[in-house]
A = this chain, B = another copy of it.
């Protein structure tokens, strides 16, 4: 670009640039060069951007001083907006025509909505922002949009575990696991090169019943010498016993009555992790 812009123009472009580069450290020099402006002006611009971002709780703008310093945008969703999002999600999940045979819920309209997925992704990214995360891992197919939404706002890669083993993945590590709800033995596989050794990984699950799938993914991490940071769950169903302990869920399905077609959805355990 390298073009002299007035403050108003710089603010628009800077906001755009920071939103496109979440969790990346951008140096003052970069902006000074981009707008052919003095670093002191850029500093003032960033103070304005920071104030708006933090007052309106659109996320955090961290400024690091010094020669190697700069600014980093960390996306988040304000407390109130997060709660509204979850309420909206609960309402939609209670729609009776969502009930499928076997007590399953049709969720593809929700998972298929990129706008909603991105809001949810930003919400989770904000909750995990203090922790070091190198990658997000999920299992095909329906968890993928949810995982990408979180990974976008954390700026980390996504690794996809598969129930089948497709030829295009290269060297693969597989484990058997017991599905917590059906008690059947199943198999899951991970492309070995998709998770580097020692990586800190966030596991993502769109619908958790017994937690067997999440537990299986966590075992896969051990297998490739990576570490579990946490488990992000979109919807958890009632279940007598869970195979995992630490997770953050947005919604909990409290009751499903297949006869009356009634579904009761309530907020999950996420509130403890949402900053006021």
Contacts and interface: CB of A to CB of B under 8 A. Distances in A.
A169 interface: yes
Interface stretch (A7-15, A211-219, A262-270): A7-15
A145 B157 contact: no
A116 B12 CA distance: 22
B144 A100 contact: no
B141 A162 contact: yes
A49 B100 contact: no
A148 to B, nearest CB: 5
Contacts of A104: 167-168
Contact of A144 (B49, B141, B152): B141
A157 B109 contact: yes
Residue of A19, A112, A117, A170 ringed by the most chain B CB atoms within 10 A: A112
Nearest to A115: B155
A1 interface: yes
A112 B194 contact: yes
Given A105-B168, A106-B169, A141-B160, A49 B12 contact: yes
Report the copy number of this chain in the oligomer: 2
A51 interface: yes
B193 A106 contact: yes
Contact of A1 (B20, B56, B107, B115): B56
A151 interface: yes
A6 to B, nearest CB: 9
A30 to B, nearest CB: 15
Contacts of A157: 109, 112-114
Listed from nearest, the 6 A-B pairs whose CB atoms lie closest are A15-B15, A114-B152, A12-B52, A104-B168, A140-B141, A112-B157
